[in-house]
């Protein structure tokens, strides 16, 4: 049923899935991430990672729920994986943000994901993240700002609202598809 793995086994039903992630928000987010094609695994994560409790390991999001401080960080990290070309996704490890464009695309992608999941913006853009710019980012996206959206359009994931009709695509924050080819 799910594309999740935990403790080395494939998650095949809701009961096992609940056992892997006890926090309902973590469960909701990881189910979405797995459903769009990014593998998620429950496992131990060292303290030497970019975000507590999250490790990107060869294209898989490894989640240590005992160390995870902000479940919304999973959407941002999934965004980094999602905007990478498919040929590069499975070789990434830990710090995947190599340039400002990748970061902008991941910001826009995570906004689209939180809208899709009907989550409060603060779940992803929490006060302890984004170098103090969380409120600013929420304000920008809430008011139709398109930081990173031209990159998502270039990647074939969504369209800028004023170009969607011409392209015949869904307009941001709706996504044409969730993963870059």
* Cα-to-chain-centroid distance, residue 42: 16
Q: Is 77 helix (H, G, I), strand (E, B) or coil?
A: helix
Q: Is 176 helix (H, G, I), strand (E, B) or coil?
A: coil
Which has the closest alpha carbon to 127: 117, 137, 119, 118?
A: 137
Residue by residue, pLDDT tens for the chain (181 residues) are 333 444 444 444 555 555 579 999 999 999 999 999 999 999 999 988 888 999 999 889 999 999 999 999 999 999 999 999 988 888 876 766 678 899 999 999 999 999 999 999 999 999 998 888 999 999 999 999 999 999 999 999 999 999 999 999 999 999 999 999 9
Q: Which are the contacts of 129, defined by CB distance < 8 A and separation ≥ 6?
A: 70, 73, 76
* Total-model pTM: 0.88
């Amino acid at each position: 049923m799910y594309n999740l793995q935990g403790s080395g086994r494939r998650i095949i039903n809701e009961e096992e899935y609940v056992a892997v992630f006890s926090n309902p928000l973590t469960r909701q987010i990881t189910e979405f991430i797995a459903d769009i094609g990014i593998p998620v695994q429950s496992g131990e994560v060292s303290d030497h990672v970019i975000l507590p409790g999250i490790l990107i390991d060869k294209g898989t999001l490894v989640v240590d729920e005992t160390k995870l401080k902000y479940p919304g960080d999973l959407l941002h990290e999934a965004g980094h994986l999602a905007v990478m070309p498919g040929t590069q996704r499975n070789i990434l490890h830990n710090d995947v943000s190599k340039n400002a464009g990748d970061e902008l695309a991941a910001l826009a992608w995570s906004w689209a994901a939180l809208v899709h999941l009907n989550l409060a913006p603060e779940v992803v853009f929490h006060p302890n993240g984004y170098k103090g710019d969380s409120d600013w980012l929420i304000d920008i996206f809430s008011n139709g700002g398109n930081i990173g959206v031209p990159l998502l359009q270039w990647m074939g994931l969504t369209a800028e609202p004023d170009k969607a009709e011409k392209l015949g695509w869904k307009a941001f924050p709706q996504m044409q598809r969730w993963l870059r080819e």
